[in-house]
Amino acid sequence: MHNKTVLITGASRGIGRSTAKKFISEGYNVIIICKNDISRMNDLKQLADTNNLICLMYECDVSSYEAVTNIFNDIHAKNINIDIVVNNAGISHVGLLQDMTVEEWNSTINTNLSSVFYICKNVIPGMLKKHNGKIINISSIWGIVGASCEVAYSTTKGGVNLFTKALAKELAPSNIQVNAIACGVIDTDMNSHLSNEDKQNLEAEIPTGRMGTPDEIANIIYDIANSGEYMTGQIITVDGGFI
């Protein structure tokens, strides 16, 4: 058993939840964050408790700098060092750009992009002290090629991709690696708005003939977290050959 700690945003559902389970099963302490109803992560805490691992749970809106800073104050007060960060929390917004309200635009930008800055700003000083750390950002293929009716979402993920590349260069001399996964279509609540017909049509366009699973992404996140220091600044596309 080792003492490494991973912080995962958006751990209540989908990719974040699978990622938390994977790291717990591999013996990591976890700091897990969601926006609403912390009790939905109780089973993850129980799993960590059973394995004698530390599990801190926070209900925190990561689109708020103040809220993010508050949880880091608590983490620091508990003297916990973070080794790995998975910036996973995100929302999608589907619709024509001209119909999007300014509030919806700001919420998408702040949740998907500014949150990554807020978390990194708080976590980097501790990683610099240890001269060690991994930051893994969960992005999307739409941040590479752009999606119709998802302009704001594509913008945030394109931003996350360049944030990743630029920060990787800035932090490489300090032995902190920064990478992103550009996911294709993954079977989570984020795609629950799709009708069965839409789902089938979409899957027909994916060379593997199906959506990815959250567990598949969690395994890749885990592998990146355990890759060597020469692997940094990469946007790893995991999309079943879609783009």
If the CB atoms of residues 3 and 201 are measured against ligand NAP, the closer one turns out to be 201
Tell which positions 117-146 bind ligand NAP, by CB under 6 A: 138, 140
Among 19, 29, 88, 114, binds ligand NAP (CB under 6 A): 88
How far is the C-alpha of 105 from the C-alpha of 134, rounded, in Å?
A: 29
Q: Does 62 bind ligand NAP (CB under 6 A)?
A: yes
Q: Specify the DSSP class assigned to residue 227.
A: S
CA neighbor of 193 nearest in space, from 83, 94, 51, 57: 94
The CA-atom distances, in angstroms, between 179 and each of 86, 124, 147, 182 are 10, 14, 22, 10
Q: Does 30 bind ligand NAP (CB under 6 A)?
A: no
> x/- string (CB under 6 A) for ligand NAP, residues 97-116?
--------------x-----
Residue in 28, 58, 118, 153 annotated catalytic = 153
Burial of residue 238 (CB within 10 Å: 0-12, 13-18, 19+) is middle
Is 153 considered catalytic here? yes
Among 47, 91, 206, 238, binds ligand NAP (CB under 6 A): 91
Say if CB 29 and CB 7 are below 8 A apart.
Answer: no
Residues at the site binding ligand NAP, with contacts judged by CB under 6 A: 9-16, 33-36, 60-63, 88-91, 111, 138, 140, 183, 185-186, 188-191
